[in-house]
A and B are shown apart, each in its own frame.
Chain A
Amino acid sequence: MPTNAIIHDRRHFLGQSLFGLAGLAGAPLLGGELDTSPLAPRAPHFPAKAKRVIFLFMLGGPSQLDLFDDKPRLRELDGQPIGDEHLARMKFAQIMEQRPSLLGSHVKFRRYGDSGAEVSELLPHTATVVDDLAIVKTVQAEEIPHHPAEVFWHTGTRQFGRPSLGAWVNYGLGCESRDLPGYVVLQSGMRPRTKGSIYAAGFLSSAYQGVPLRDGADPILNLAPPASVSESDQSQVIDTVRELNSIRHRLTRDPETTARNTAYDLAGRLSKTAPEAIGLQHETATTLARYGVDPAQPSFARNCLLARRLVERGVRFVHLCHGDWDHHSNLRQGLTTMCGQTDRACAALLADLKERGLLDETLVVWGGEFGRTAVGQKSATAGIGRDHQIAAFTMWLAGGGIRAGQTLGETDELGCFPVTPPIHVHDIQATLLHLLGLDHKRLTYRFQGRDFRLTDVGGNVIHEILA
């Protein structure tokens, strides 16, 4: 389906003022500075390379050493105690062994594509799309336990209660689609350890928070009005609710009321458009097979396909979460399972977006809250695993504005530390905003007397990664 048929261009959109209340005949305005809906589209700071984001968040921290960052030297030294120089600088979450031993990867790597990027045999499908990826091997995080690390990745700080990446993006750009939320969350497998904290709006308007869809056969319940209610009745109810809310708002001045009006407006539209948008029955058997989707079963693959349908229809930020990649033990078995659940679908998503001409304007990001150690974590009862590593780990980015087919950053021969300048989580966040046409230093919100931003006081755009 051609994208433009679904996504309304901005001028048309503003002309209708559908998110602003002016479009409602007779509806009073909310007065003063509050009369524009928080979801009205806004111009970026500078021309954008990407319009939408699909964020594939791999909960728990995938092992880069067994997926992307091949270390032959580590394999040679397998079982040797780690040396002082490394040990002194390493941080562990759980390992308490005084001198843990190195753990070479159990998997084989090969170079693929024109770019010759290294990919593990555990990711045969991702290997077919490496020329579309920019692989970053020196990502650096700050927090070693899961909870603050998850929150840091999404909000730029370890403090709970701050706005998520997706919320910031919609705050910066508004909503591209009239009919769907700007920020949709699709979860499969294990749920985030910090639950809704990673898709919350924090101090931004509630209108920006992620809308989590259910993972079963009915992603959105209660889409249709009661049988006795006609479409025009329903519209009148929604319009009247909004009108009464606006009257009350003049008295209470509570911004939540404005956000609720936005939600009701969107709810009315969702009733009409969501069944089509999330209906996998519109997909061919070939497409389902390509992603590996069983429409009746919740899965990461199903969510990847939904993500494509959603970005196609102008959803600004689609946030997938899947886990658990936290392989402290049973690394071999665990990685095989996780890769089996995600590899085919990730590759299918990229290829599908590309064929539909959507990859150019859709940024796809894959990664977890941290990576895993070069030393093994032993267990008396289970197979060996790896602990958390924040000093260097791998992510990939693809699509809108990314120079594809490159590998960025290099780690030492054991994969413990970067030997090229590390790329901080804030740098990825700054780059993501940059690709969307937003300057991370200018995208601020004043709260409690100071300007907050996603990247806190850090963040540098990674220019090498830009096309």
Chain B
Amino acid sequence: MLRIITPEFPPVRASFTKLAVLAIVCHCSTAADAQSRARVDFSRDVLPILSANCFPCHGPDDQARQAKLRLDTRAGAFHTERPVIQSGNSKQSEFVRRVSSQDPEVRMPPANSNRQLSPHQIELLRRWVDEGAVWSGHWAFETPRRPEVPQIREDAWSRNAIDRFVLAQRKHLLLRPAPEAAKESLLRRVTLDLIGLPPTPDEVAAFLSDDRADAYERVVERLLASPHYGERWGRHWLDAARYADSTGFETDAPRSIWKYRDWVIEALNDDLPFDEFTIKQLAGDLLPGASTADRIATGFLLSGPQDGGSEPARLDAVVERMNTIGSVFLGVTLGCAQCHSHKFDPLSQHEYYKLFAFFNAADESVLELAPPEQVARRDALRAQLAALIAEREMFAAKLAAGTAASDPGYQERSRTIDSLKHQIPQLESAPVLVTPTVPRTTTTFVRGEFSKPGELVTPDVPVVLPPLAADERTRLGLARWLVSPQQPLTPRVTVNRIWQQFFGRGLVETENDFGVQGARPTHPELLDWLATEFVASGWRMKSLHRLIVGSATYRQSSHRTADADAIDPENRLLTRQSRLRLEAEAIRDSALVASGLRSLKIGGPSVFPFQHEGVMLNRATPAEWVASPGADRHRRGIYTHYWRLTPHPFLQTFDAPDSLTACTRRRTSNTPLQALTLLNDPTFAECAEALAQRVLREVPDGDHERLDRAFRLCLGRLPAAEERPPLVAVLSAVRARFATSNIEAGDRAAWTQVCRVLLNVDEFVTRE
């Protein structure tokens, strides 16, 4: 048991504490803030009110601006002809008079805006003005400064700096951290988190019998070195990269892009520093002496949906690439500014197109990876095919309308064409970015319409962020700028997303919106410490993972207690871990591993596991789903072929992203359709049967021992005493139907039922 009894936890009346905690939790602020509650903080308290209520008419959008007043910049708020804010004097401030007026004709926001300030908000604004109306930038746009790690006296709990920040945050609150998770639970958690697979019974046994003080750290090192680490974290990254194996839109044509997927897996396994990881994906083609791998990395920008080769489609794709960078690296929604200046965040439409210009100067090309003679042969066959199709059309044109399909000559030609189609080999290739030979100029587009070019723009970054030198305004320069030391957003957004994977929620809950309307960090100092630590340690993702999973905060039990739930039901103070439902791929992977069916081959073209008939019918353009032969049916989910128009139903049912836009956080739903899938889907029936046979094979005798084995395989632990009788009842019920002469068949059927139960329990699909 961990104890924290220090003078910093004074005995406080419980009711008082609860109130104090509630106040803090609802304002999402911090314990440190509580001390400085006296002063209103502009960025924390005032800016969110202004942006939500005033910016729509007095913000960055100059088309929507009313009364020539803008309140989103210091200059706008103070340096007008008649300043509406008098620092230090709310009584003389028109601003305060308008927001607090009782007269509906005078009051701001106006009645027809349907926005209304609460008395608390009005009071905050008044106090802010009286306290001197100190103006500062939005916190997320300021370069993070490395905070001091708090010193906690008599702290027997903390394992590293993370814990000291977490503890400092809750030190006034009398909330004790949860105890460390049980060893089995911890092993299953960290294994699923780092490699996306459940631990094997041997791994569990080894960990349980390892009494060394650093037994856990050894497990972490083993997992970080596992080649499956790259698959797990690669899948998270591919969500953000909206990776899919087809183009989307109506045609949803197949595309060969798996080389990029494999590049991601390998880069993560190699612990390629995140700055290089970023630069290669945005501009690998522009690096001096770019290698084939560097060029393949640019698949990141190209993996989005693509609607054919027209100019509007190209521009749409460029917009989509930019929006992806907005969500994934900057954590801001750039999309709004495509059509109008951003209503809340300081991004003008002009600046949007300046960013757009970087990506407008890059085109998609196909990098052939097969030997040139194979490429030449394939191209010759393609040309032959095109000629045959053209000839058939000319032939058909001479026939009477509607008779082509039944005409022998036409049929003969069609057969030839079909047979030639099957002879065309699928060669390895990858989409890559290239610089167009003829330089392309960029203009703004009036209200986002590509048919309405506006003024010419040159590439540059938004003024609210650190500047980019004039001679570095290339795509490569932009990529380097995103991971430059003074960049405030990329490191924060990245560590926050990684944190989110380990705790279910980021320190900033709105992981793709660090803008003014986004959530405030629950632990601002921890976020900045992690961001600066990440950069200082050379952008090493594995170091960051080691740090997080090594913390006492991570190692806490995820079980809830009534006391903590009453005070902090959302666990914003991190007084426990979270139970997280596994992602679609991890659920199937776990079943494949538990049953022993899994093929753990890494990389290669995408595969086609079992899928119900009929799924491919709902397509404008036909496509096939022919189940892969042999072991390829049982590969990890990351390798399942993803048709954007008709994704595999299993992936959809368990909330895999649609790959249409960058997904930085998966939704987790809990529906009867999921229950039906785990109960009845042929893949899971197959896993249950194989698991049963495995248990029977590996444990020669004894229901008790076999149940132990089945639990170890599925849940990484042994059954509790009270969990046995219901399962023994299942065994008896099934066996009763089999004659005594057929014990073997009875056992198989009975254990298959038990295994179906274990693949369906909540704990199986949950990381505890």
List A residues at the B interface (Cβ < 8 Å). Answer: 91, 93-96, 140, 142, 145, 181, 195-196, 200, 206-207, 209, 211, 214-218, 220-226, 228-229, 233-234, 236-238, 240-241, 243-245, 247-249, 251-254, 256-257, 259-261, 263-264, 266-267, 270-271, 298, 379-381, 424, 447-450, 457-458
B26 contacts A270, C-beta separation under 8 Å? no
A-B contact pairs, 15 of them (CB 8 A): A220-B673, A222-B676, A222-B680, A226-B685, A236-B730, A236-B733, A237-B760, A241-B761, A245-B763, A256-B670, A257-B762, A260-B675, A271-B676, A380-B452, A424-B114
Which of A216, A263, A298 is close to B672, meaning CB atoms less than 8 Å apart? A263
| Cα distance, A257 to B729, chains bound together (Å) | 22
Q: Tell me whether B538 is interfacial, beta carbon within 8 Å.
A: no
A253 touches B667 (CB 8 A): no
Q: Which of B579, B757, B760 contacts A252 (CB 8 A)?
A: B579
Residues on A with C-beta less than 8 A from B753 are 229, 233, 236-237
Interchain CB contact under 8 A, A247 and B720 = yes
Segment at the interface with A among B209-217, B443-451, B482-490 = B443-451
Contact of B559 among A142, A251, A259, A458 (CB under 8 A): A251
Closest 8 CB pairs of A and B: A267-B675, A206-B670, A380-B451, A253-B560, A226-B685, A222-B680, A449-B26, A266-B672
Query: CA separation between A192 and B54, bound complex, in Å?
Result: 29
Interface contact B675-A240, CB-CB below 8 Å: no
Residues of A within 8 A of B726 (CB): 240, 243-244
Of B356-364, B529-537, B545-553, B610-618, the stretch lying at the interface with chain A is B610-618
Contact indicator B762/A248 (Cβ below 8 Å): yes
Contact residue among A96, A225, A260 (Cβ-Cβ distance under 8 Å from B679): A225
Whether B451 contacts A449 by the Cβ 8 Å rule is no
Interface status of B369 (Cβ within 8 A of chain A): no
Name B677's contact: one of A222, A224, A238, A243 (CB within 8 Å).
A222
Which of A95, A181, A226, A236 has the largest number of chain B CB atoms within 10 A? A226
For residue B264, CB closer than 8 A to chain A, the reply is no
Smallest CB separation, B583 vs chain A (Å): 15
Asked if B64 contacts A222 (CB within 8 A), the reply is: no
Closest A residue to B611 by CB, please name it. Answer: A221
Contact in complex: A214, B730 (CB < 8 Å):
no
- Count of chain B residues with a beta carbon within 8 Å of a chain A beta carbon: 70
**Across the interface, which residues of B come within 8 angstroms of A381, CB to CB?**
451
Give complex CA distance A265, B677 in Å. Answer: 14
Determine whether B674 belongs to the interface, using a CB cutoff of 8 Å to chain A. Answer: yes
The reply to whether B447 and A96 form a contact with Cβ atoms under 8 Å apart is yes
- Indicate if B669 sits at the interface (CB-CB under 8 A): yes
The CB with the most chain A CB atoms within 10 A, among B451, B560, B682, B757, is that of: B757
User: In the assembly, what is the distance between CA of A264 and CA of B667, in Å?
Assistant: 20
Cα-based distance from A380 to B450 in the complex (angstroms): 9
Question: Who on chain B is nearest to A209 by CB?
Answer: B669
Question: Does chain A have a CB within 8 A of B2?
Answer: no
Q: Which residue of A lies closest to B759 (CB)?
A: A241
Cβ of B618 and Cβ of A252 under 8 Å apart?
A: no
Q: Tell me the number of A-to-B contacts counted with CB atoms below 8 Å.
A: 176
- Are B64 and A91 interface neighbours, CB within 8 A? yes
- Distance to closest chain A CB from B49 (angstroms): 15
Shortest CB-to-CB span from A35 to chain B, Å, is: 15
Report Cα–Cα, A379/B446, bound state, in Å.
11
Which residues on the B side are within 8 Å of A380 (C-beta)?
449, 451-452
| B612 contact set on A, CB distance < 8 A | 218, 221-222
Chain A residue numbers with a CB within 8 Å of B749 are: 228
Docked-complex contact A196 and B669, CB < 8 angstroms: yes
Instruction: Give residues 650-689 of B contacting A (CB, 8 Å).
Output: 655, 658, 667, 669-677, 679-682, 685
Interface core residue of A91, A94, A220, A224 (most chain B CB under 10 Å): A94
The reply on B266 being an interface residue by CB < 8 A is no
Q: A221-B681, A236-B730 are in contact. List 15 more A-B contacts (CB 8 A).
A: A142-B114, A206-B671, A216-B615, A223-B676, A229-B756, A234-B679, A237-B757, A237-B760, A245-B763, A248-B762, A253-B559, A270-B676, A380-B449, A424-B114, A448-B26
Using Cβ atoms and an 8 Å threshold, which residues of chain B touch A244? 723, 726-727, 757, 761
Point out which of B22, B558, B658, B672 has the most chain A C-beta atoms below 10 A from its C-beta: B672
CB distance from B323 to the nearest CB of A (A): 12
Please state if A253 and B565 are interface contacts (CB–CB under 8 Å).
Answer: yes
On chain B, the residues within 8 Å of A195 by CB distance are: 658
In the complex, chain A residues whose CB is within 8 Å of the CB of B245:
none
Closest residue on chain A to residue B677 by CB atoms: A222
The answer on a CB contact under 8 Å between A240 and B730 is yes
Query: A296 → chain B, closest Cβ, in Å?
Result: 9
Residues of chain A within 8 A of B760, CB atoms compared: 237, 241, 264
Task: Please give, as numbers and ranges, the residues of chain A lying within 8 Å of B744 by CB-CB distance.
Answer: none
- A209–B681 CA distance with the chains assembled, in angstroms: 22
Interface core residue of A142, A222, A223 (most chain B CB under 10 Å) = A222
Contacts of A181 in B (CB 8 A): 671-672
| A221 adjacent to B671 (CB under 8 Å) | no
Contact residues of B between 334 and 378, Cβ < 8 Å to A:
336, 339-340
Chain A residues with Cβ below 8 Å from B761 are 241, 244-245, 248
Known contacts A226-B685, A253-B559, A379-B451; is A240 also within 8 Å of B670 by CB? no
Contact of B676 among A220, A252, A261, A379 (CB under 8 A): A220
Known: A221-B649, A223-B680, A233-B753. A263 touches B671 (CB 8 A): yes
Quote the shortest CB–CB distance from A418 to chain B (angstroms).
10
Q: Is B570's CB within 8 Å of the partner chain A?
A: yes
Is the beta-carbon distance between B26 and A263 smaller than 8 angstroms?
no
Give Cα distance in the complex from A207 to B612, angstroms: 26
A351–B555 Cα distance when bound, in Å, is 60
Hey, which chain A residues are within 8 Å of B618, CB to CB? 215-216, 298
Residues of B within 8 A of A225 (CB): 679-680
B residues 730-768 near A (Cβ < 8 Å) are 730, 733-734, 749, 752-753, 756-757, 760-763, 766, 768
The smallest C-beta distance from B60 to any residue of chain A, in angstroms, reads: 15
Query: How many angstroms between the C-alpha atoms of A448 and B749 in the bound complex?
Result: 48
Q: Is B63 interfacial (CB-CB < 8 Å)?
A: yes
**Shortest CB–CB separation between residue B271 and chain A, in angstroms?**
34
Once the chains bind, are B25 and A448 in contact (CB under 8 Å)? yes
Residues of B within 8 A of A270 (CB): 672, 676
Question: Within 8 Å CB of A261, what residues of B?
Answer: 762
- The answer to whether B762 touches A260 (Cβ under 8 A) is yes
Residues of B contacting A217 in the complex (Cβ-Cβ under 8 angstroms): 614, 617
If A247-B720, A264-B760, A380-B451 touch, does A256 touch B671 (CB 8 Å cutoff)? no
State in angstroms the CA–CA spacing of A222 and B682 once bound together.
8
**Bound Cα distance from A217 to B518, whole angstroms:** 41
Q: Does B561 contact A (CB under 8 A)?
A: yes
When A244-B757, A244-B761, A380-B451 are in contact, do A222 and B579 touch as well, CB less than 8 Å? no
What's the Cα separation between A236 and B449 when bound, in Å? 59
Whether the Cβ atoms of A263 and B674 lie closer than 8 Å is: yes
Query: A94 to B658, alpha carbons, bound, how many Å?
Result: 27
Taking CB atoms, residues of chain B closer than 8 Å to A229 are: 753, 756
In the bound complex, what is the Cα–Cα distance between A364 and B630 (angstroms)?
Answer: 51
Given A240-B757, A457-B116, A263 and B675 touching (CB < 8 A)?
Answer: yes
> In the bound complex, how far is the Cα of B570 from the Cα of A341, in angstroms?
44
Q: Is B581 an interface residue (CB 8 A)?
A: yes
Q: In the assembly, what is the distance between CA of A2 and CA of B128, in Å?
A: 65
- Contact check: which of B63, B672, B685 meets A96 at CB < 8 Å? B63
Whether B614 lies near A218 (C-beta < 8 A) is yes
Which residues of the other chain, A, contact B559 by a CB distance below 8 angstroms? 251-253
Asked if B722 CB lies within 8 Å of chain A CBs, one says yes
Q: What residues of B have a CB within 8 angstroms of the CB of A140 in the complex?
A: 114
In the complex, which of the residues B565, B579, B729, B761 has the most CB atoms of chain A within 10 Å of its own CB atom?
B761
B347 to chain A, nearest CB (A): 15
Q: Given contacts A252-B559, A267-B676, is CB(A449)–CB(B25) below 8 Å?
A: yes
B26: A residues at CB distance < 8 A: 448-450
A209 touches B670 (CB 8 A): yes
A256 close to B762 (CB less than 8 A): yes
CB closest residue in chain A, given B510? A160
Q: Are A256 and B579 in contact (CB under 8 A)?
A: yes
